[in-house]
A and B are shown apart, each in its own frame.
Chain A
Amino acid sequence: MPLDLFTVGDPIADTKAPTDVPIGERWSERKFRGRLVNPANRRKMTVIVVGTGLAGGSAAATLGEAGYKVKSFWYQDSPRRAHSVAAQGGINAAKNYRNDGDSVHRLFYDTVKGGDFRSRENNVHRLAEVSVNIIDQCVAQGVPFAREYGGLLDNRSFGGTQVSRTFYARGQTGQQLLYGAYQALERQMAAGNVEQHSRTEMLDLIVVDGRARGIVARDLVTGEISTHYADAVVLATGGYGNVFYLSTNAKGSNATAIWRAHKRGAYFANPCYTQIHPTCIPVHGEYQSKLTLMSESLRNDGRVWVPKERGDTRDPRDIPEDERDYYLERIYPSFGNLVPRDIASRQAKNVCDEGRGVGPNGLGVYLDFAEAIERLGRPAVEAKYGNLFDMYAQITGEDPYRTPMRIYPAVHYTMGGLWVDYDLQSTIPGMFVIGEANFSDHGANRLGASALMQGLADGYFVLPATITEYLADGPFEKIGDSHPAAVEAVQGVQAQIQKLLNINGTRSVASFHRELGKLMWDLCGMERSEESLRKALDRIPEIRQEFWTNVKVVGDWHSFNQNLEQAGRVADFIELAELMCVDALHRNESCGGHFRAESQTPEGEALRDDENFAYVAAWEWTPEGAPPVLHREDLEYEYVHLAQRSYK
């Protein structure tokens, strides 16, 4: 690898997990060894939590309950809007309520394997342990999970597993889990334990003497730039899928908080690990603003197929059985339609590349429920998937009860994120990162129903337990607006805003975002190659250059200005996109969602290179002009043996 793209720095290691005890005891041991903060001292300490999704909402509520002074920030009007609300399918937990051989160890094993051996064993085991507590907590909060006639909780199966361990609330599991956390959070706000900062966006991190001590934020209604100080800062700001412009993320989902923290010294880990979800509604036009997911749970009963012949434009209902190719069932007989997401997505791409795709632009495959409706009856299918079918009909104008759905992969989730240790602390002491914003648990591919599990594990149980070790040294010295670090951060934010408003060029923010997104989808999407990535790396600096000289942002800074908000976010996406391509280019292997054309098995499956790449790539930011610095964290597999993933 040529050195002009990056330089190599010291290796990095996670030293917080107690590896001197067996894996099943490490989390308990960590909690025992970590120092605590007594209740009287907790009242003296402030924690900032940015974001109110499953991770941020649950963390802020739990820290408030514990007695800390919490300041909560979110960019929407209400904390209930956070994009966790849109998660459909479910949440995994190793309850083994189905008596089908599930266990904490099996969930741990499935998740490490599903992540294509690029996640940390210690973190994943902890996640599996904590999963059972999450279900208990949520049920007690009144989360209306699906139940059986006997009154007990129902489960279903999800991709990448052979047990039924997924708890769900029809197709709206994320919504119901989020409302549980949101209500707990509102309760703490009413109790005066959590300070509310609605419609407020974090724009920088304040670092004093090497510790994260506060944030600079902008009130999106008045435009006022304000500073907020604390003893610790928690980022729970979600993933960066909107780098691709079109994704299943919310329109407002952005990487600004994590990216600006990265520029303050937090390492960014595995940015190239993005998840392309196999079952989304296909793109239908240039003006399209976002893509909509159809829950993976549909693959439990829906069968994926394309015509055997290329260019077969018949109505799908007129294509006889023997002229259909149920390609997932054919290639992966034991997992069938329930292979992990990365595999299902790539195979959809393959059949479309062969010219067998369906729909107006040939970028789609069928997801067919005819057999399920015949087997279960329409009412049973409605009960399970009713809201998803309605949503599909609303968007496409087609009735999926009568004709097969058309689906295509879309960017959905980012496994990469800010590097954190076992305590979820970043490389900036005092800054913790939870949920999708960190990189920790999913390796190179996240299994279905594991994001909700991780968000709530981090927020309810892990962070509140690990942050005490850091806060035990607090409270830290008070700082105010006259501190040079605060002054510098505020001035930097103001200068950038002013610069964006002054350019007054000829292209809209959205046009840059669309161009960047298309470039990333084409060159750093489902399949990447050295050639495509080099092309992207040539082009992105040009886009950045043009953005900063030719973007047009209207209005002023001291008012409600959505155009200005978007401009700042797109500026960060452009920089992040470049790092994603550098990471993707340096990782000359295929693993999980990262598929390098140069590295595949004879059957076209992802071919890992464990000898050279069994590590986390943690990137250190360097000022423009200097290449980023790579710090490697070696991954060791003590309990799950490295193997070629097989779902055949």
Chain B
Amino acid sequence: MRLTLRIWRQKDPSVKGTMVTYKLDDISPDMSFLEMLDVLNERLIMDGDDPVAFDHDCREGICGMCGVMINGKAHGGEHTTTCQLHMRSFKDGDTIDVEPWRASPFPVIKDLAVDRRAFDRIIQAGGYISVPTGTAPEAHSTPVPKKDSDAAFDAATCIGCGACVAACPNASSMLFTAAKVTHLGLLPQGQPERYDRVVNMVTQQDLEGFGGCTNIGECSASCPKGISMETISRLNHDLLGALRAGVKPKS
């Protein structure tokens, strides 16, 4: 396949970026999208140019490290991560635009790599169950209905890639936060901290500068793990309950 790539190049956060055009011949349809970028980078290196910086690690769709906008769609719009997108999804002669996640809480580090530590700080605000090592009771002491356990699992599959934020016109992190609130809130183990969790996590996402949720649904539509909008309803339900109960954020 022959392709024209237009890639966002930005040396560091202090300078303005721009789209730069590259031509590639000889791309196999069996390559993954990142392998195609590897081929480009190998060429740039041999020409003494600066290779395109992009984040990636497991390359099997589970670590959440990769993620770019491809033709304006997060991860290319195929319900998969960028690393699992294969070139057979494109046609010979295509022009492909490649850009980083665009959201102010995700500042660009270089080219296509952005800083997503804001997500970790949302988890730090309450995305856990407080159970220090060694304090756990016997696992079978609390049966969990299978339907709750399965639904908790579905929410827990969020990989924290940030596609939801990148796809959202408001750059809202609601789906990410709601997935964790849902995962832990559906389990009996998560009940004691349920209200504090939701209030603190929502407060943190506001502090980070993520936008508000207006139920557009681009987040779920672009989520490689198919996290459902239902999690957002659940978050709102918990949040209302918490506020009615007078729960205040800790910060």
Contacts and interface: CB of A to CB of B under 8 A. Distances in A.
Interface of A: 58, 61-62, 65, 76-83, 85-86, 95, 97, 133, 135-137, 139-142, 144-153, 169-170, 172, 175-176, 179, 182-184, 186-187, 189-190, 198, 221, 248, 250-252, 284-285, 287-290, 292-293, 391, 394-395, 397, 460-461, 464, 508-511, 552, 554-555, 559-560, 562-563
Contact of B127 (A186, A289, A397, A562): A186
A78 B57 contact: no
B140 A153 contact: yes
A251 B57 contact: yes
B125 interface: yes
Contacts of A187: 124, 128, 130
A186 B146 contact: no
Given A86-B62, A142-B152, A285-B31, A136 B139 contact: yes
B55 to A, nearest CB: 7
Contact of B146 (A149, A172, A189, A252): A149
B143 A150 contact: yes
Contact of A391 (B31, B61, B65, B152): B61
Contact of B58 (A79, A83, A95): A83
A183 B133 contact: no
B48 interface: yes
A172 B62 contact: yes
Nearest to B153: A144
B221 to A, nearest CB: 17
A145 B144 CA distance: 10
A519 to B, nearest CB: 20
Interface in B18-52: 28, 30-32, 34-35, 38-39, 41-42, 44-46, 48-51
B60 A78 contact: no
B25 to A, nearest CB: 13
A475 to B, nearest CB: 23
B211 interface: no
A564 B183 CA distance: 39
Given A78-B120, A80-B160, A552 B58 contact: no
Contact of B131 (A95, A141, A391, A554): A141
B38 A144 contact: no
Contacts of A560: 12, 53, 109-110, 113
Contact of A198 (B50, B117, B133, B140): B117
Interface stretch (B80-88, B165-173, B231-239): B80-88
A137 B133 CA distance: 7
B139 A135 contact: yes
B6 interface: no
Contact of A186 (B49, B58, B120, B143): B120
A278 to B, nearest CB: 17
Contacts of A290: 59-60
A146 B150 CA distance: 7
Given A77-B115, A190-B125, A250 B110 contact: no
B177 to A, nearest CB: 14
B105 interface: no
Contacts of A77: 55, 65, 115-117
Given A83-B57, A85-B63, A289 B38 contact: yes
Interface residues on B, range: 35 or more
B208 to A, nearest CB: 14
B124 A289 contact: no
B136 interface: yes
A292 B81 CA distance: 14
Contacts of A142: 129, 152, 156, 183-184, 187, 189-190
A233 to B, nearest CB: 20
Contact of A86 (B60, B132, B142, B143): B60
Contacts of B127: 183, 186
Interface centre among A83, A140, A175, A187 (most CB of B within 10 A): A140
Interface of B: 11-12, 28, 30-32, 34-35, 38-39, 41-42, 44-46, 48-51, 53, 55-65, 80, 84, 86, 88, 109-110, 113, 115-117, 119-120, 123-125, 127-140, 142-146, 149-150, 152-153, 156-157, 159-160, 183-184, 187, 189-190
A189 B124 contact: yes
A190 to B, nearest CB: 4
A255 B167 CA distance: 36
A149 B117 CA distance: 38
A183 B80 contact: no
Contacts of B160: 78, 80
A292 B133 contact: no
A471 to B, nearest CB: 17
A146 B149 CA distance: 7
Nearest to B119: A78
B59 A508 contact: no
B153 A176 contact: yes
Given A141-B131, A153-B139, A508-B42, 17 more contacts: A77-B116, A85-B62, A85-B64, A139-B139, A141-B128, A141-B136, A146-B153, A148-B146, A175-B157, A176-B156, A182-B123, A183-B123, A184-B128, A394-B80, A509-B45, A559-B12, A559-B110
A140 B189 contact: yes
Contact of A97 (B62, B140, B184): B140
A330 to B, nearest CB: 32
Contacts of B130: 187
B124 A144 contact: no
